[in-house]
Amino acid sequence: MQATTATEAPVLRLDRISKIFPGVKALSEVDLALYPGQVTALVGENGAGKSTLVKILTGIYQPDGGEITVDGTPVSFPTAQDAAAHGITAIHQETVLFDDLTVAENIFLGHALKGRFGLIDTARQRRMAAEILHSIGAEIDPDTRLRELGIASKHLVAISRALSIDARVVIMDEPTAALSHKEIHELYELVEKLKAQGKAILFISHKFDEIFRIADRYTVFRDGQFVAEGRISEITEGELVHMMVGRSVDQVFPKRTPSIGKEVLQVTGYDHPTEFEGINFTLRRGEILGFYGLVGAGRSEFMQSLFGITKPSKGVTKIDGEITVIRSPAEAVEAGIVYVPEDRGLQGAIRPMPIFQNVTLPSLSRTSRNGFIKLAEEFALAREYTERLDLRAASLDTPVGNLSGGNQQKVVIAKWLATQPKVIILDEPTKGIDIGSKAAVHDFMAELASQGLAVIMVSSEIPEVLGMSDRVIVMREGRIAAELSGDEMTPETLVRHAAGIAEA
């Protein structure tokens, strides 16, 4: 292992790299340098070109201009294998692993250890997998099927997989997005270990606390352009945000004077055989009710059951005081309950379809006559709600998949508002979206509540929960651990109830 000093030459350098897609310049002459034993944070709003850059580094896209050098020698990565051969590996936002293979098979997939006759040497693979897992402090049996692991363990497998090719450059694309507090902590320790081994790490994150916690250097992109780079120690959070958005964004949550009206939703005795138990709560007009908890606490599962996706074994929903049976999302929408899911790509939007068709999908009965589509009314409805959300798109018939994450989320929210619901459930509404869109979503939530809509917000981000909610329900292991309001709503109480730690 080499000793790491700050003056060392970069392992990997990108020089004036450009990437053009039809009609869009995704990257315009950007620079990036990664140094051995250092963590470089790549910072930028969604749409800044971070994902494109990762794809270029891993051989998925080819740059249209510029030069990549490894140890000072120009290289190119025509395929993903070429990038791996140069020791570059990425741990993706949504980890690409295979549920039905074992941990060891996942780790060595694509570069299996061969024994005699070119067959896979499973014994050696298992041993090596155990070694790598052990080296990062993950005590996982290499023979376990991946399906049986939790999301955090899966992540550790993904990291082991990255390390199994003897990587020199490790790219981590929002590695903490799906992790709980404790798991994030363990990830930080792992990053420290990788640093000590002299690996260069590219760390992509939207969370400023973690950037300042673990990064040594930063590089800022904005709208596909290089903005700045430097040492983290020489910059403040405010300066970094300013460079990122090109304007100063105060991360203050919208101030509201909640005008809470009469009860609109009453949930009693919701049980599910495995996911949740004994859920009771009420919700009033104009109220924002936060649901906090660790990943796996059963919040999303409960919300989806309220929305008619998963069937609870028992439970009663009353809307405006009347018992309402909801057996499908269609019935939920009719009853005035809508759900903005966490998994935007799969559950939220229909990405290949145009924006306007996504927005009007649950409201088609209102933009049609006797089942026949009225295009002009569809466009009008879509325009009304997307403009309210300040959507940025080339046209309303652009496929939703072409938009950035934040704008996709706006389409999903617009879709539900167009149904004029009574209760809107937002599941991790700002996960993985940029600061600008985040603020827009927060403002919008406040506006909706002030117009008398009842809002349920599931969030794992404490500042968001505390900043937005009038009341917070903390869930732990499928049960309601606490219901907090007013002065009880502090970061400490939230974490304590979520983790099940007794009163200090």
Partner 1 sequence: MSTTERFIPDRLQSPLQKKIKSWESLLLAVAIAIFIANSFASPYFLNAWNLSDATFNFTEKAMIAFAMALLIIAGEIDLSVASIIALASTAMGAAAQFDVSTLTLVLIGLGVGLACGAFNAILVCGMGLPSIVVTIGTMSLFRGISYIVLGDQAYRGYPSDFAFFGQGYVFWVISFEFVLFALIAVLYGILLHKTNFGRAVYAIGNNATGALFSGIRVNRVKSILFLLTGLMSGVAAVCLTSRLGSTRPSIGLGMELEVVTMVVLGGVNILGGSGSIPGVVIAAFVMGLVTFGLGLLNVPGIVMSIFIGALLIGVIALPRLWEMWRK
Task: Give residues in contact with partner 1 (CB under 8 A).
Answer: 307, 309, 328-330, 332-334, 339, 341, 346-353, 356-358, 361-362, 364-365, 368, 371-373, 379, 383, 386-387, 390-398, 415, 419, 439-440, 443-444
By C-beta, is 368 or 493 nearer to partner 1? 368
> Least distance in Å: CB of 412 to partner 1?
9
Strands 39-43 and 263-271, bridge-based pairing: unpaired
> Least distance in Å: CB of 5 to partner 1?
44
By C-beta, is 238 or 401 nearer to partner 1? 401
Burial of residue 108 (number of CB atoms within 10 Å: 0-12, 13-18, 19+): buried
Rounded to 5 degrees, φ, ψ at 90 are -125, 140
Q: ∠ CA 114-118-123 to the nearest 5 degrees?
A: 40
Residues 124 and 127: their CA atoms lie apart, in Å, by: 5
Residues 418 and 443: their CA atoms lie apart, in Å, by: 18
Residues 240, 231: contact at Cβ < 8 Å? no
By C-beta, is 279 or 349 nearer to partner 1? 349
> Least distance in Å: CB of 375 to partner 1?
9
Encoded amino acid at 55, one letter? K
Residues 40 and 9: their CA atoms lie apart, in Å, by: 14
Residues 290, 469: contact at Cβ < 8 Å? yes
> Least distance in Å: CB of 342 to partner 1?
11
Give the length of the chain. Answer: 504
Categorise residue 66: left if φ over 0, alpha if ψ from -120 to 50, beta otherwise: left
Residues 327 and 304: their CA atoms lie apart, in Å, by: 11
Residues 148 and 153: their CA atoms lie apart, in Å, by: 10
> Least distance in Å: CB of 443 to partner 1?
5
Rounded to 5 degrees, φ, ψ at 338 are -125, 160
By C-beta, is 73 or 395 nearer to partner 1? 395
Beta-carbon contacts of 296 under 8 Å, excluding residues fewer than 6 positions away, are 150, 151, 180
Could you give the 3-state DSSP secondary structure of residue 39?
Answer: strand
Detail the DSSP E strand segments found in 223-262.
Answer: 225-231
Residues 426, 412: contact at Cβ < 8 Å? no
> Least distance in Å: CB of 421 to partner 1?
11
Could you give the 3-state DSSP secondary structure of residue 185?
Answer: helix
> Least distance in Å: CB of 341 to partner 1?
6
Residues 138 and 140: their CA atoms lie apart, in Å, by: 6
By C-beta, is 11 or 403 nearer to partner 1? 403
Detail the DSSP E strand segments found in 165-248.
Answer: 169-173, 200-204, 217-222, 225-231
By C-beta, is 126 or 422 nearer to partner 1? 422
> Least distance in Å: CB of 134 to partner 1?
38
By C-beta, is 2 or 257 nearer to partner 1? 257
By C-beta, is 341 or 406 nearer to partner 1? 341
> Least distance in Å: CB of 338 to partner 1?
8
> Least distance in Å: CB of 352 to partner 1?
5
Residues 482 and 486: their CA atoms lie apart, in Å, by: 13
> Least distance in Å: CB of 408 to partner 1?
11
